[in-house]
A and B are shown apart, each in its own frame.
Chain A
Amino acid sequence: MMELLPQALTDGILLGGIYITIAIAFSLTYGVMHVIDFAVGEWIMFGAFTGYYLNKWTGLDPFIFLPVIFVIYFGVGYLVQPVIHRVLSGTKGNPFLMGLVFTFGLAIMFRGLALTAFGFYSNSIPSAFSEGSFNLESIGLTVTIPTVRLMGLAYAVAITLILHYLLKKTNFGLGVRALAQHKDAAGLMGVNAKRTGSYVYGIYVGISAMTGVLLGCILSIGAQMGNEYTIFAFFVVVLAGMGYLAGVPWAALLLGLVQSIFMIYFNPSHTLLAVFVILYIILLISPRGLFGKGV
């Protein structure tokens, strides 16, 4: 069984890459707007289907469409955010509670719309990268790396670096971080909370949709795929510490490794339960995530 360990570790890292892409923009949104978006999985699902149909109609490789999909869904997110802003800014009842309920409602509605439009069947998005793989051999151990999964990891690294640059090296990023720290003080310093929130939400939806295309190439797409990715987004973000962006890559890799090892050495059908137990233990021991820097 030990000969499977290198493959398990490799698969875990690749899976962690997927979780990075799922969770990192979500964590950004939570940090800035303090909204838990229950529709994160649905944005991913819509992006996947958009990529699927663009590929179907044009015959071009879906990776070519990533920028197009980002632009489309950035626009969608930009337009949706004012509604969420209104909910969060309401003076009636508990605004935070209402934000949770609102996004929960959006998720249900989106799932219904998708099931109506796309049906219950699963598909996958064909890509030129889907069939290739690399084989590494050393001292009798073999590790297989599917090309498309490697693309996923590369995408995760790219997104992480771009977000890091955006947040650390630009005026926009400075405004975002100020907003995350203290909304009113940032407003006094000239940061437009509403517009900045729109940009952040647009970025989040755009990245989520691009991630959907990626997942469509690596795994499969279906109208009910959203819930699974929403759960993983939540798990990674809680492990990382709510709103602590730097913790996301490490939490995602940890989750990917645990899940991968669990799938090989234990019962795959209990993976979700195992992940939930880990979440439970983390919340029990270190409620602010692995690094103790959650909000």
Chain B
Amino acid sequence: MKTSRGAAILAIITAALLILPLVVHDTFVLRVLTEGIMWIGLAIAFDVIAGYTGYLNFGHGAFFGIGAYTIGILMMQAHLPFWVALPLGGVAAALTALIAGIPTLRLKGAYFAIATWALSRAIQQLALNVEFTGGPDGMRLEAFLNPLFFYYLMLITVGVIFLVLWYLLERAPFGLKLKAIREDEEGAKALGLNPTMLKMQSFILSAIPTGILGGIYAYWITFIDPSSTLGDLVSDQAVVMVVFGGMGTLFGPALGAILIFAFKTIFWAYLSDFQLLYLIILGALIAISVIFIPNGLWGTLVKRKAVARPQQKPEPASEPAVLSAVAVPEEGN
């Protein structure tokens, strides 16, 4: 019942998104929607390692930037076509995750958070100072002016990302193993799991879609530079979207991404100096979410629904407690 209803809702949303460009002909709206969809993908990818596994990757933006720069370099210097370069963006992100993960994922989460955050700064400095990346001036790609193409490309890519991650994290044993690591890593090891290997797989799984989305972004926007693709804002926004929306779920980050991106887009149009205010709001939102809604919006909504359900029908005095005890833990995650 729950699954079929969810599937029906998803089908309706998907159909609406597919049909939308036929109804809306405004290029600006199409571009805004394209970027919003991209952020859903970025937030979901961040949650794989942060929410499901419990290891915070504060350098998430680095993989986005690596994907963007890989596309830029391969298309503009090696002259490869887009469809050949795009998968290589994901491969480059995966390789970076593999290399960065080796020394850090064996250790406690603090090391990983520090190392990934430092990694993003090191890569940004590299991009600023190396000639083949264009240095501080960035790179320009050939313009392919087709908003419809990028809308559908982004939609299909994020759709595939969502389905693959949904299967791996919510249906396959892989997801259960990651959650076991998050809840009790020593216990997971005692059960026979290999936490380091699983964390590595999770990290790479988080990096690949991020790199691919970075590649699409580069081709779409046609200009990349260290501050726009490797700067703090990609990581910062990914963190707030996931924490605010709900860590350890797929719908939470998507919800967080939609709300925050909508908020940013609307206010940016009205406030000329919103960028600084936006930083304050981002940081405050992260801090407030941690304190007051640790499960995020989605976690809170789902939990509330679960708690409300047993009370809707009259039950003998002894049974409601049992129902609540059973229902809440199941829905809580």
> How distant is the Cα of A267 from the Cα of B125 in the complex, in angstroms?
12
> How distant is the Cα of A106 from the Cα of B239 in the complex, in angstroms?
12
Contact B290 A270 (CB under 8 A): no
> How distant is the Cα of A106 from the Cα of B290 in the complex, in angstroms?
11
In B281-310, the 8 Å CB interface with A consists of 281-287, 289-291, 294-295
Contact A111 B279 (CB under 8 A): yes
Contact B279 A269 (CB under 8 A): no
The yes or no answer to A284 lying at the interface (CB within 8 A) is yes
The yes or no answer to A96 lying at the interface (CB within 8 A) is yes
Query: Looking at the complex, which one of A87, A113, A116, A283 makes contact with B111 (CB distance below 8 Å)?
Result: A283
Chain B neighbourhood of A227, CB < 8 A: 121, 232
What DSSP secondary structure best describes chain A's contact surface?
Answer: helix
> How distant is the Cα of A97 from the Cα of B296 in the complex, in angstroms?
14
A39 to chain B, nearest CB (A): 9
> How distant is the Cα of A97 from the Cα of B182 in the complex, in angstroms?
10
Q: Report the 7 A-B pairs with minimum CB-CB distance, sorted nearest first.
A: A109-B283, A105-B286, A112-B279, A108-B283, A112-B280, A283-B103, A276-B122
Contact A109 B284 (CB under 8 A): yes
> How distant is the Cα of A83 from the Cα of B116 in the complex, in angstroms?
26
Given contacts A87-B290, A101-B290, contact A283 B110 (CB under 8 A): no
A53 to chain B, nearest CB (A): 19
B107 to chain A, nearest CB (A): 5
Chain B neighbourhood of A180, CB < 8 A: none
Contact B111 A273 (CB under 8 A): no
In B245-270, the 8 Å CB interface with A consists of 247
B144 to chain A, nearest CB (A): 33
Chain B neighbourhood of A295, CB < 8 A: 108
Which of chain A's residues has its CB closest to B119's CB?
A276
Contact B104 A283 (CB under 8 A): yes
Contact B278 A267 (CB under 8 A): no
Contact B109 A100 (CB under 8 A): yes
Chain A neighbourhood of B110, CB < 8 A: 30, 36, 96, 100, 242
Name 14 interchain pairs, CB-CB below 8 A, sorted by A. Answer: A38-B117, A94-B183, A105-B282, A105-B283, A109-B280, A109-B283, A109-B287, A234-B118, A269-B125, A269-B128, A269-B129, A273-B125, A279-B118, A295-B108
Given contacts A111-B283, A272-B125, 14 further A-B contacts (CB under 8 A): A87-B290, A97-B50, A98-B294, A100-B109, A102-B291, A106-B283, A112-B278, A112-B283, A113-B280, A234-B114, A267-B129, A279-B115, A280-B103, A283-B104
In A241-290, the 8 Å CB interface with B consists of 242, 267, 269-270, 272-273, 276, 279-280, 283-284, 287
The yes or no answer to A93 lying at the interface (CB within 8 A) is yes
Contact A101 B114 (CB under 8 A): no
The yes or no answer to A235 lying at the interface (CB within 8 A) is yes
Chain B neighbourhood of A279, CB < 8 A: 115, 118
Query: Looking at the complex, which one of B118, B232, B287 makes contact with A276 (CB distance below 8 Å)?
Result: B118
The yes or no answer to B276 lying at the interface (CB within 8 A) is yes
Contact A287 B118 (CB under 8 A): no
> How distant is the Cα of A272 from the Cα of B118 in the complex, in angstroms?
9
Given contacts A109-B282, A116-B277, contact A100 B126 (CB under 8 A): no
Which of chain B's residues has its CB closest to A30's CB?
B110
Which of chain B's residues has its CB closest to A227's CB?
B121
The yes or no answer to A231 lying at the interface (CB within 8 A) is yes
The yes or no answer to B240 lying at the interface (CB within 8 A) is yes
The yes or no answer to A23 lying at the interface (CB within 8 A) is no
Chain A neighbourhood of B232, CB < 8 A: 108, 227
Given contacts A107-B283, A116-B277, A270-B125, contact A93 B295 (CB under 8 A): yes
B134-157 vs A, Cβ < 8 Å mask (1 yes, 0 no): 000000000000000000000000
Contact B286 A104 (CB under 8 A): yes
> How distant is the Cα of A83 from the Cα of B125 in the complex, in angstroms?
34
* Residue among B50, B100, B279, B295 with max Cβ neighbours from chain A (10 Å): B279
> How distant is the Cα of A30 from the Cα of B278 in the complex, in angstroms?
30
> How distant is the Cα of A115 from the Cα of B283 in the complex, in angstroms?
13
A161 to chain B, nearest CB (A): 28
Which of chain A's residues has its CB closest to B106's CB?
A287
Given contacts A101-B56, A287-B106, contact A92 B128 (CB under 8 A): no
Contact A231 B118 (CB under 8 A): yes
Which of chain B's residues has its CB closest to A116's CB?
B276
Contact A102 B129 (CB under 8 A): no
Chain B neighbourhood of A87, CB < 8 A: 290-291
> How distant is the Cα of A270 from the Cα of B106 in the complex, in angstroms?
27
The yes or no answer to B220 lying at the interface (CB within 8 A) is no
* Residue among B54, B110, B239 with max Cβ neighbours from chain A (10 Å): B110
Chain A neighbourhood of B108, CB < 8 A: 242, 295
Chain A neighbourhood of B182, CB < 8 A: 94
The yes or no answer to B35 lying at the interface (CB within 8 A) is no
> How distant is the Cα of A112 from the Cα of B285 in the complex, in angstroms?
13
